[in-house]
């Protein structure tokens, strides 16, 4: 069993509430930071830790903090991105629902480092019940002197406010989130200026994901250098993974980013293997927006080469043979799953969620949706597959925010690795609507060793 930093106390009865959380060692990082560290020292510990943003981009958190402008007399803000809308991703929900105080604690320490006296949690609108949990945790922290004026006699003031979104995936993009937070339509902003210079209400702002901010707690408690010893290379610390799909044990797992993809899928400690004794066909390792990979690029090869569950290994080889750790939404597909059908489902999602601001995304996602619909329902041609490839190429890299890329990458990877399955939908049009087509040969040459 790997080391747990965020979920270590998850099974403690009553850990949702302040008294239990405090009894189990909670809020020690606040005491340490406010009583014996300067804000710059807290930031330096986060930089030393190597913590990377856990929301998808993987940008070093401490470096992002260091970019924050500090003009004299201008308020600064920390905004926590809890708009967890990436299909296949639900690890932030787990943290907020069952261990809300670790997020509140992380916000207080991070706010102290950044000089934010008013910090915000922007939460996905569908997480309505979690808003009540967070509000209760905030009030408990305030009642016990960890929020409000002059926290622990340090002279530092901090208030936390929860703002619900309205169900728009686009508001997971940090500048669209800020627009929505300000009460405007959630359209992404053109950058520069970046939020670190001109963010919420035109003030310097840092936007970080829930898991990122929660990870500040063990970093301050144990020290950045100790945190950096966990993991490998630039993939330091632990990572929460939302595992779902055709596996025996779906759920949220905390890994140290040194285990292989094969071990994660087949070990009883983690996913417990493919359900119903089926073979692995493919996996989307980092949420719906990252490229899908077939089994032969995931499992151990004859040469003993393995994919490791970390940023570098999953992206190795670029998008031709690699993917991304992304938000940690780990979606497993067995040999009976239809790649065209799943790609069509994702295309419909991104078409629906495009804000329409950029024409390549606004028009391109419509074309992706329509072309995949034709192919899935046996009405497509070989030319449609080529057109599908051209459309996704014209979307990628041509939009203000990454939603266009998120729509294009799954389509590109599906065609790249499973083109013969797309062609089957053309040559076997009558069967395409009624048959689940599984390309079992993708797993035929792979010996599962776990």
What string of DSSP letters covers 41-107?
HHHHHHHHHT-B-TTTT--BHHHHHHT----TT--BEEEEEE---STT--HHHHHHHH-HHHHHHHH
20 to each of 28, 106, 224, how far by Cα in Å?
14, 17, 26
Q: Does 347 fall in a domain?
A: yes
Q: Does 4 fall in a domain?
A: no
Q: Does 7 fall in a domain?
A: no
Q: 149 with 37, same domain?
A: yes
Structure token digits, residue 433: 């609507």
pLDDT over 60 at 418, yes or no = yes
Select from 199, 229, 259 the last residue of a domain: 229
Q: 267 with 362, same domain?
A: no
pLDDT for 228 equals: 96
Angle at alpha carbon of residue 111, lines to 42 and 7, rounded to 5°: 75
Q: 48 with 162, same domain?
A: yes
Q: What CATH number is attached to the domain comprising 108?
A: 3.40.50.11540
Are 341 and 157 within 8 A, CB to CB?
A: no
Tell me the percentage of the chain whose pLDDT exceeds 70. Answer: 95
Q: What CATH number is attached to the domain comprising 367?
A: 1.20.1440.230
Q: 199 with 70, same domain?
A: yes
Q: 326 with 356, same domain?
A: no
Residue 120 phi/psi, 5° resolution? -130, 145
Q: 325 with 376, same domain?
A: no
CA distance 192 to 199: 11
Select from 291, 314, 336 the last residue of a domain: 336
pLDDT over 50 at 442, yes or no = no
Where is average pLDDT lowest: 5-19, 137-151, 288-302, 384-398? 288-302
pLDDT for 444 equals: 38
Spatial neighbors of 33 by CB under 8 A, at least 6 apart, are 42, 109, 112, 113, 220
Q: Which of 93, 40, 84 is nearest to 62 (CA)?
A: 40
**How many folded domains does the chain comprise?**
3
Q: Does 446 fall in a domain?
A: no
Residue 239 phi/psi, 5° resolution? -135, 135
CA distance 36 to 23: 21
Q: What is the helix, strand, coil percentage profile of the chain, to 5?
A: 45, 15, 40
pLDDT for 443 equals: 36
Q: Does 3 fall in a domain?
A: no
Mean pLDDT score, 109-128: 97
Q: 44 with 147, same domain?
A: yes
Select from 304, 319, 336 the last residue of a domain: 336
Mean pLDDT score, 169-195: 96
Please give the residue range of the domain that contains residue 252: 235-336
Q: 224 with 258, same domain?
A: no
Q: 122 with 251, same domain?
A: no
CA atoms within 13 A on the CB side of 83: 25
CA distance 421 to 419: 5
Q: What CATH number is attached to the domain comprising 245?
A: 3.10.20.600
Structure token digits, residue 438: 């599984």
pLDDT for 371 equals: 96
Q: Where are the alpha helices (DSSP H) in 74-190?
A: 91-98, 100-114, 128-143, 174-181
Of the two residues 257 and 430, the one the predictor is more confident about is 257
pLDDT over 50 at 133, yes or no = yes
- Residue 266, burial from CB neighbour count under 10 angstroms (0-12, 13-18, 19+): buried
Residues 275-331: tens digit of each pLDDT = 999 999 999 999 999 999 999 999 876 556 788 999 999 988 777 788 999 899 999
Of the two residues 37 and 55, the one the predictor is more confident about is 37
Q: 179 with 259, same domain?
A: no
């Amino acid at each position: 069993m790997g080391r747990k930093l965020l979920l270590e106390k998850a099974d403690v009865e009553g850990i949702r509430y302040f008294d239990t959380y405090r009894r189990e060692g909670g809020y020690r990082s606040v005491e340490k930071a406010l009583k014996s560290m300067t804000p710059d020292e807290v930031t330096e510990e986060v930089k030393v830790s190597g913590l990377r943003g856990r929301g998808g981009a993987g940008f070093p958190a401490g470096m992002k903090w260091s970019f924050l402008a500090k003009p004299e007399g201008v308020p600064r803000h920390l905004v926590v991105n809890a708009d967890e809308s990436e299909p296949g991703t639900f690890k932030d929900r787990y943290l907020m629902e069952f261990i809300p105080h670790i997020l509140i604690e992380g916000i207080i320490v991070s706010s102290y480092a950044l000089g934010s006296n008013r910090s915000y949690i922007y939460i996905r609108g569908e997480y309505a019940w979690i808003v009540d949990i967070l509000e209760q945790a905030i009030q408990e922290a305030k009642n016990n002197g960890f929020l409000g004026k002059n926290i622990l006699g340090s002279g530092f003031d901090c208030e936390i406010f929860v703002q619900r979104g309205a169900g728009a995936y686009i508001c997971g993009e940090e500048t669209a989130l800020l627009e929505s937070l300000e009460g405007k339509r959630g359209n992404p902003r053109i950058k520069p200026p970046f939020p670190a210079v001109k963010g919420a209400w035109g003030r310097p702002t840092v936007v970080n994901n829930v898991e990122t901010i929660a990870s500040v707690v063990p970093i301050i408690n144990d020290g950045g250098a100790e945190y950096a010893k966990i993991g490998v290379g630039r993939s330091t610390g632990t990572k929460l993974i939302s595992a779902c799909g055709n596996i025996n044990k779906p759920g949220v797992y905390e890994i140290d980013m040194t285990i292989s993809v094969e071990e994660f899928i087949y070990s009883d400690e983690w996913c417990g293997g493919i359900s119903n004794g089926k073979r692995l066909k493919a996996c989307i390792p980092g949420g719906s927006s990252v490229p899908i990979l077939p089994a032969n690029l995931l499992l151990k090869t004859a040469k003993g080469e393995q994919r490791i569950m970390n940023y570098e290994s999953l992206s190795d080889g670029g998008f031709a043979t690699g993917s991304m750790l992304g938000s940690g939404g780990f979606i497993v597909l067995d040999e009976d799953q239809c790649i065209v059908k799943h790609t069509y489902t994702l295309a419909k999602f991104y078409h629906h969620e495009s804000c329409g601001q950029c024409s390549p995304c606004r028009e391109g996602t419509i074309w992706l949706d329509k072309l995949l619909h034709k192919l899935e329902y046996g009405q497509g041609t070989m030319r449609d597959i080529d057109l599908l490839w051209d459309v996704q190429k014209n979307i990628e890299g041509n939009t203000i925010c990454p939603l266009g890329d998120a729509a294009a990458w799954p389509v590109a990877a599906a065609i790249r690795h499973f083109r013969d399955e797309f062609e089957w939908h053309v040559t076997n049009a009558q069967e395409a609507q009624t048959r689940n087509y599984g390309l079992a040969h993708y797993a035929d040459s792979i010996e599962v060793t776990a």
